[in-house]
Amino acid sequence: MSVSISLIEQLAKHLMRPIDAATRHKARLHLLDWLACVAGARGSRFRSMSLRAYHGSEDWLGNVLEMDDVHREGRLHPGPVIWPAALSDADMDDVLNAAIIGYEAMISVGATFDNHHYAYWHPTCTAGVFGAAAAFMADAGPLDTNTLTQALTFAGTTTGGLWQTRHENDDAKQFHIARAIAGGSDAAGVALRGLRGPRFILEGPQGLYAATCRDPNPMVLTEQWRIHEVSFKPWAACRHAHPVIDCALELRAVGKLHPPFHVETYADAIAFCDKPDPASEQAAKFSLQHAVAVIAAGRNAAPADFTPDAIADLAPLRAQVTVKEAPEISARYPAHFGARLNGMELVDTRGDPERPVSESDIISKMRMLADWGGLDTGEADRATELALTGNDGGAIGKMLDRWLA
């Protein structure tokens, strides 16, 4: 018997349910975290480029420092895509609701992608366009299931983002994020004008799964909003490097972090981050060897620890790091991002829901990154107030305009 209701239609109906106050508070923490990432990236060359004609500079900055939030099973970063789509001059509850709906759409689609998809495609882009479309739709006014469905179908029909960017010193990773936001905006726009897209864009015979997956996962529509599953990133490196950073910090705290350093972790961490000789800041952020060296040198994996000077200074320590896969750690992935370093093993990483950071930790991250980005303490405090207790989405937009002028 043929299926008459598509996955996209099921998802659209799922996005219509009420949002509770506790989930809106969780969203406020993710908003502050994203603002911190944008503040810290103000010094990057992306800020100085003429990007406002292609949406806003903030569309490019949320991922630059590699400190953006992450959903493990989806292997994607919602914050940099969803917040630029959700922010508007609306009442803050409306902004937060749009973001929560955007997170839900992005994660629900992204978690269905399999290992084959992740090997070639950047899920923050391929799933992100669905989240951005949902957030733009929620921001545009009261949702109806049919128009939301059309926006999601248009999002899927043009999504993209290839991982070739990992192998070259280029800017495509940031472009992927900006493109997901722009694509979501375009998808919402044509849906609101009454156009119709392909309902079976995910599971159809020439849909996204057929083109990019071999064995897609079932779509899981959870009762709890999935923003509660999203992890925060304490350190300025690829999330695949965070488990070994966490292990190194634990060893350092008890005086047991000594060379030689033997890293064991899951296969994707090695595929993305086995870089013994990084030649750029971006490569250093994707280097397990550099991550261990940073902590062994007494540093704390802040943005300053991945600069060219740090790369040069830490070369001797990196040379003492070996890396190999641990099948039992791979077997727990992606539900758990773990690692073992010189016998110290952690199943989950600081910032995951199982090992959460506190609100004060996120505030501290805001202050640290504001300072790194050249903002004074008053701006960090202002951002914290607007994100955590403010009621005016437009005030955040005005603050960003000042930061990025």
Burial of 360 (0-12, 13-18, 19+ CB in 10 A): exposed
From the CB of residue 220, how many other CB atoms can be counted at a distance below 10 Å?
Answer: 11
Which single residue is written with the structure tokens 């001797």? 316
Asked whether the beta carbons of 272 and 166 are under 8 A apart, the reply is: yes
CB 278 within 8 A of CB 287: yes
Residue 78, judged by CB atoms within 10 A of its CB (0-12, 13-18, 19+), counts as buried
**Res 55: pLDDT:** 55
Amino acid, res. 268: D
Distance linking the first and last C-alpha atoms of the chain: 57
* Contact between 77 and 68 (Cβ < 8 Å): yes
Q: Is 231 helix (H, G, I), strand (E, B) or coil?
A: strand
Is 236 in contact with 67 (CB distance < 8 Å)? yes
CA-based nearest residue to 310, from 332, 281, 335: 281
Domains of the chain: 7-229 (1.10.4100.10), 239-346 (3.30.1330.120)
For the record, the structure tokens of 284 come out as 């250093």
Q: Which amino acid is at 240?
A: H
Cα–Cα distance for residue pair 181/162, rounded to 1 Å: 16
Decide: 32 and 383 in contact? Cβ < 8 Å: yes
* pLDDT tens for each residue of the chain, 405 residues long: 355 899 999 999 999 999 999 999 999 999 999 999 999 999 887 765 545 545 566 788 999 999 999 999 999 999 999 999 999 998 999 999 999 999 999 999 999 999 999 999 999 999 999 999 999 999 988 889 999 999 999 999 999 999 999 898 888 999 999 999 999 999 999 999 999 999 999 999 999 999 999 999 999 999 999 999 999 999 999 999 999 999 999 999 999 999 999 999 999 999 999 999 999 999 999 999 999 999 999 999 999 999 999 999 999 999 999 999 999 999 999 999 999 999 999 999 999 999 999 999 999 999 999 999 999 999 999 999 999 999 999 999 999 989 988
Phi/psi of residue 261, nearest 5 degrees: -110, 125
**Which pLDDT value is given to residue 1?**
35
How many CB atoms are located within 10 Å of the residue 346 CB? 22
* Closest of 65, 85, 123, 56 to residue 268, by C-alpha: 123
Helix axes 21-40, 92-110, angle to 10 degrees: 80
Structure tokens at 22: 């506790």
DSSP 151-177: HHHHHHHT---BGGGGGSS-SHHHHHH
> For tokens 């800041």, what's the residue?
281
**What pTM was computed for the model?**
0.95
